[in-house]
């Protein structure tokens, strides 16, 4: 998980909210007294819904806000950090731009063959599927409120994601909240650990050149992966950043990285 910087809300969403705010329609629709589902509202407005998804995708440079797997046209969804069913007349979380993130759908890291197995989707969720209807209580980290400082470290043996104690201390974020976020989103589900490990091993092989100073080599590889910051980020951005160490930090500073 990394810091996410959001652009202004799409005009389509602003117009939709102004048009329908008096009716207070929820995104997924509500059931009437007779149990029938009411009109879906925003999801039935493809122009507005697509504008939201596309803007979130661009803001996050193509990565899931939680697991940092790449998002695809048919593999992305809109996440409400505070569940939509918590909406009130005073706070409509359904249509709150600052409550929306782009996440993987289905759970990140699933292989194409796995998608044919509904039981795997049910038994091994992560990200939004794992978070489900959890109501944030201050412990779950919100990507929109993270520092640009890297808060996580990784195991070169297993691909496991862990809190970075020093980074947590420097940013005044309780380490237990970082661990709670990892656990709540199931960011250490085996398939994610396995795929992170592939990335870690590959980068370490690239860094195995005794003819070049390690700091220079780290920065050189960071340039290859992160570019000038205008294109989409590579998957597992934070993992790459950790592996590339000081070289990554130097390059990200050079390109004025801000999330």
Question: What band does 40 get if pLDDT is binned at 50, 70 and 90?
Answer: low
Q: Is 52 exposed, middle or buried (0-12, 13-18, 19+ CB in 10 A)?
A: buried
CB count within 10 Å of CB 67 equals 27
Could you tell me if 8 and 51 are in contact, meaning their C-beta atoms sit under 8 angstroms apart?
Answer: no
Higher pLDDT, 113 or 98: 98
Question: What band does 211 get if pLDDT is binned at 50, 70 and 90?
Answer: low
Task: Kindly report, residue by residue over 217-259, the tens digit of the pLDDT.
Answer: 999 999 999 999 999 999 999 999 999 999 999 999 999 998 8
Residue 212 pLDDT > 90, yes or no? Answer: no
What's the pTM value of the predicted model, to 2 decimals?
0.88
pLDDT at 169: 96
Helices 46-59 and 11-20, packing angle to 10 deg: 140
Residue 36 pLDDT > 60, yes or no? Answer: no
Could you tell me if 190 and 170 are in contact, meaning their C-beta atoms sit under 8 angstroms apart?
Answer: no
Dist CA 248 CA 125 (whole Å): 31
Average pLDDT over residues 16-22: 77
pLDDT at 88: 86
Q: Tell me which residue of 42, 6, 5, 3 sits closest to 25, measured CA to CA.
A: 42
Dist CA 227 CA 167 (whole Å): 24
Domain positions in the chain are 11-254
Residue 20 pLDDT > 90, yes or no? Answer: no
Task: Kindly report, residue by residue over 73-82, the tens digit of the pLDDT.
Answer: 878 899 999 9
pLDDT at 10: 96
Average pLDDT over residues 201-216: 81
Could you tell me if 9 and 24 are in contact, meaning their C-beta atoms sit under 8 angstroms apart?
Answer: no
pLDDT at 39: 44
């Amino acid at each position: 998980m990394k810091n996410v910087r959001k652009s202004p809300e799409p005009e389509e969403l602003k117009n939709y909210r102004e048009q329908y705010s008096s009716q207070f329609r929820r995104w997924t629709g509500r059931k009437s007294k007779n149990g029938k589902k009411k009109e879906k509202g925003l999801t039935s407005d493809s122009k507005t819904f697509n504008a939201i998804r596309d803007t979130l995708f661009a803001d996050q440079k193509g990565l899931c806000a939680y697991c940092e797997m790449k998002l695809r046209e048919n593999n992305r969804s809109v996440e409400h950090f505070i569940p939509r069913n918590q909406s009130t007349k005073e706070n409509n979380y359904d249509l709150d731009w600052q409550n929306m993130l782009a996440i993987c759908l289905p759970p990140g890291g699933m292989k194409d063959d796995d998608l044919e197995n509904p039981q795997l989707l049910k038994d091994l969720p992560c990200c939004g599927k794992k978070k489900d209807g959890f109501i944030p209580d201050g412990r779950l980290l919100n990507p929109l409120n993270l520092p640009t400082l890297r808060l996580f470290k990784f195991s070169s043996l297993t691909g496991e994601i862990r809190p970075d104690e020093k980074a947590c201390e420097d940013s005044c974020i309780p380490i237990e909240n970082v661990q709670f976020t990892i656990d709540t989103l199931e960011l250490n589900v085996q398939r994610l650990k396995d795929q992170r490990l592939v990335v870690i091993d590959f980068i370490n092989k690239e860094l195995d050149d005794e003819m070049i100073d390690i700091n220079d080599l780290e920065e050189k590889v960071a340039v290859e992966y992160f570019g000038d910051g205008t294109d989409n980020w590579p998957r597992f951005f934070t993992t790459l950043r950790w592996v590339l160490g000081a070289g990554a930090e130097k390059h990200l500073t050079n390109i004025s990285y801000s999330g």
